[in-house]
Chains A and B, each alone.
Chain A
Amino acid sequence: MADDFSPSTLIFAATLLASLSGTPMLLCRLLPPSRAQLLSTVLMLSASITGLSGALLALISGKTEHFQLPLSLPFGSGEVGVDPITAWFLLPVFLITGSAALYGRAYWNADKFPETVCKITFFFGLMSGFMSAVTLARDGITFLFFWEIMALAAYFLVATEDKKPEVNSAATLYMITTHIGTLALFALFPLLALAAGSWLFPDAGSLDATSTLATSLFFVSLFGFGMKAGIMPLHIWLPSAHANAPSHISAVMSGVMLKVGVYGIVRTLSFFHGFPLWWGIILLLAGAVSALAAVLFAIAQHDLKRLLAYHSIENIGIIFMGLGVALIGCSTSSPAIVMLGTAGALLHILNHATFKALLFMGAGSVVHATGTRRIDLMGGAARFLPYTALFFGVGAVAICGLPPLNGFVSELMIYIGLFRGIQGSGVAAAADALAIPALALVGGLAVACFVKVYGIVFLGTARSEEHTAHHEAGWQMLLPMGLLAAICFIIGSAPALLGDMLQRASSEVFPSALESGIRLVSLVPLPTLSFVAAALMLMIILLALWYRRTTLKSSRSDSVTWGCGYRRPTARMQYTASSFAEILTGLFAFLLKPEISKPDIAKGMFPPSADFHNHAPEVVLELIYTPLLERLYQRFLPIRRLQNGILQQYVLYILITLVLLFMSDYL
């Protein structure tokens, strides 16, 4: 290998390859669609492998490189670059898009969906490539270009089945919100240019965070990137978009695209030094609110993919809490807390990408087999989908933050950071102290939610013949899931593998606060974690063996699970998702505002047929934004008369403006 070889070459090649991977689909005259899809998948997989190796090499070497783009834009030439932060975010980008591409070949096969396969494959490649490109951009204009291409490609992916009205409205909602977010970014980069003196991104830690300009930068970036990341209350597009997109698209959007939003915030934060305390508290608060509210909403959902989408918001909340801890650490100048918070947030970004993509793929496999997204119609899927059930189970345990899987490691770092924060004094310690029970509550509720999902969907018996899962997914769907499950397990049981890379990426985010060179390994007992994980696994295996031996001896009889002692139980008597979640949704009804219609059974001697249904609305959207916008619309109705569609009047507006300009000379 030549001396001047740099991992950036691999990353750029992978980015280009990924964005072009959909082009074979455009040559439909030359290639049959199934061939073209195979070629696209191969291109995407090679892009993914190239990019992953590039990102890993860049992280191991820890080099920072910059390249000029030969563009003659009016804002100066563009610049791209690779540094440990970028490389760290590229890990989930290439890992998840590669897995999703392989999964998508079976899930959205050209033979089954001949009409939409061209669109979905082309835009999938475009979105994957430009998600990576966004993290490479080093000036505001290039960033906006890449950002917008990514956002628009995602729109077309959400709108894959645009013949269905609910898909269409989900896509439109996504379009509106993503453009509101972009609007904020249009404000962000000129402000940044004002602060830094050029459109190029300033060096890490070079701007003072106490100025008014910095404050506005903080809020604008929180709004713009928060919209994409799906932080509450800006998350409104997320549940419907993730539920209505094809599952591998949801996996990439939830696993990676939200992280690109988080990347924006991390990158913006890295420009500053001398953070005021309230920045950290705001991030911590936003994170805690998102995590808590989202997990509650998740419990009340009946749609499997919508439920997972709410868990994405929850995990983004946890990531924000990590960043908040780090910022509080910066302002109380305790490098240990900064390191723990940043490393926890960054690791959780990778972790969430893996287990959420895994869960969405598992959900896709179940939806594929049962033909419905409604949890209450499923049941007993584990009998027919043993591998899917296993992998989904791994993802579920990981997302709950339980050892020995990866979610535990990142949440542990944030916990340790919070506990160290309590030992300080003043407002910072109080904020940390309040965040700990919030994070614990989130973990507990997440466990409840996934017990519900796993119990209702995979265990028990099938509720109806129509929605019984009969066939296991093919290898192309199982292999990516297995790979992601393995990664969840590896990160969970051997986190020390990532220790150095995490250290490099974290010190790049807050270089001024981490100058002292504090080691992550000295703060978190990573090798001990491996030991605990091994012990736990050993215990689980021993328990399983013991259970097997005892059950083999005893007599067996077949019965409906949760038959509750009835002589002739039916499958419909099983616990449903609604009944399982009833206590929790009842407790938090003040927040969830569930719409329940109960049957009136007690009337008359012979009760007539009755039905019960409940529905958890998207409270923020349906009860806050929509009425607000409706009122705004009514208020501004007179102004809308200006836009009446008459061509001549539009020209008249120009004329009036011109005449007024002329007249102004006389005044």
Chain B
Amino acid sequence: MITIADQLLVLVLLINFVVLGTSRLIFSIRAVAVQGVILGVLPALIHPFSWHLVGIISMILVTKGVVIPMMLSRAMRSAEIKREAEPYLGYVPTLLLGAVFTALSFGFAGKLPMLAEHQNYIFVPASMATLMAGFLILTTRRKAISQVIGYLVLENGIFIFGLLLADAMPIMVEAGALLDLLVGTFVMGIVINYISREFASLDTSRLTSLKEE
């Protein structure tokens, strides 16, 4: 089972690169949805069966796999966003940076003082690499909707870390985190609409006009 989990995590890491490297927004939304679904399945593989687990998994699948991607595509349609990601930094340099960060995460995770049973997983490095990928998307993309995608990837990274603790985590905490995410995406959806209405563009660099002199 552990090996399957590890392979799935590798898939998650690959999806990070997909999101970093693609220019098409719809594609990256779907990629993040797939990433969410994979992460939703993961707890079933590493923890023994319980109704608590079933509840968490089904909630994750519904939110990350269906609701959030639907909301994002709707926002894209209603705000008439162009399909390209328009990065500050080119796709190839971003991909290279992503690779460097992933390597760094693996190196760093090896040095962390961890419990013996967690020692052999790639959970911690995968978590950090995903976190970094999220940061990269946040910093290099211009559009507000890419910011949302960045936050989703970032959250996925944190979620991987949380997987180690799924047994210890009460369902309320899980539900709370999911709700946060949902509300966050919802709010961003509204914000995106307002930005596009006010500035006639979704370019967040236009937000500099809000800066104090």
Contacts and interface: CB of A to CB of B under 8 A. Distances in A.
A648 B138 contact: yes
A400 to B, nearest CB: 46
A663 B111 CA distance: 12
A655 to B, nearest CB: 4
Q: What bracket does the count of chain A residues touching chain B fall in? A: 10 to 19
Contacts of A643: 211
Given A651-B138, A651-B139, A655-B135, A646 B208 contact: yes
B163 to A, nearest CB: 21
Interface in A633-667: 643-649, 651-652, 654-655, 658-659, 662-663, 665-666
Contacts of A647: 147, 204, 207
A648 B88 contact: yes
Contacts of A648: 88, 138-142, 204-205
Interface string B130-149: 00100110111110000100
Contact of B210 (A645, A649, A654): A645
B104 A659 contact: yes
B68 to A, nearest CB: 20
Nearest to B211: A645
A643 B208 CA distance: 10
A27 B24 CA distance: 53
A646 B142 CA distance: 10
A629 to B, nearest CB: 15
Contacts of A649: 139
Contacts of A654: 135
Nearest to B205: A646
A663 B103 CA distance: 12
Contact of B207 (A645, A655, A659, A666): A645
Given A651-B138, A651-B139, A654-B135, A645 B208 contact: yes
A643 B139 CA distance: 15
Contact of A652 (B105, B128, B139, B211): B139
Nearest to A655: B135
B108 interface: yes
Contacts of A659: 101, 104, 132
Contacts of A644: 208, 211
Given A643-B211, A644-B208, A665-B111, A651 B104 contact: no
Contact of B136 (A646, A655, A663): A655
A61 B111 CA distance: 68
A76 B210 CA distance: 41
A658 B136 CA distance: 12
Contact of B135 (A646, A651, A665): A651
Contact of A655 (B107, B139, B204): B139
Nearest to A666: B107
Given A645-B210, A648-B140, A665-B108, A658 B205 contact: no
Contacts of B141: 648
A654 B207 CA distance: 19
A659 B204 CA distance: 24
Interface string B145-166: 0010010000000000000000
A647 B147 CA distance: 9
Interface string A47-82: 000000000000000000000000000000000000
Contacts of B142: 648
The 8 lowest CB-CB distance pairs between A and B, nearest first, are A645-B211, A645-B208, A652-B139, A651-B138, A655-B135, A648-B139, A662-B108, A651-B139
28 contacts: A643-B211, A644-B208, A644-B211, A645-B207, A645-B210, A645-B211, A646-B207, A647-B207, A648-B88, A648-B138, A648-B139, A648-B142, A648-B204, A648-B205, A649-B139, A651-B135, A651-B150, A652-B139, A655-B132, A655-B136, A655-B138, A655-B139, A658-B132, A659-B132, A662-B105, A662-B128, A665-B108, A666-B107
Given A646-B205, A659-B132, 12 more contacts: A643-B211, A644-B208, A645-B207, A645-B208, A646-B207, A648-B142, A651-B139, A652-B139, A655-B138, A659-B101, A659-B104, A662-B105
